[in-house]
Amino acid sequence: DPLGVGGLHLAGLLLEGDEPGQVAVVSAMQGVTNALIALTEAAASGRAWRPEWQALHQRHARTAAELAPGADAALQAWLAQEFEQLAGLLEAVAVLGAPGKPTVERIQGLGEVWSARLLHAHLASRGGSYALLDARELLHVQAGELGVAVDWPRSRAALAQWRAANPQARCIATGFVACGADGLPTVLGRNGSD
Instruction: With beta carbons less than 8 A apart as the criterion, state whether 169 and 22 touch.
Output: yes
CA 55 to CA 42: how far, in whole Å?
A: 15
> What is the mean pLDDT for each group of 10 consecutive residues in the chain (194 residues)?
61 79 91 97 97 98 88 90 98 93 94 96 91 96 85 96 95 95 87 53
Q: What is the pLDDT of residue 190?
A: 63
Q: What is the pLDDT of residue 135?
A: 97
Q: What is the pLDDT of residue 174?
A: 96
CA 64 to CA 59: how far, in whole Å?
A: 9
Q: What is the pLDDT of residue 67?
A: 86
Q: pTM for this structure?
A: 0.91
Q: What is the pLDDT of residue 11?
A: 82
Q: What is the pLDDT of residue 21?
A: 82
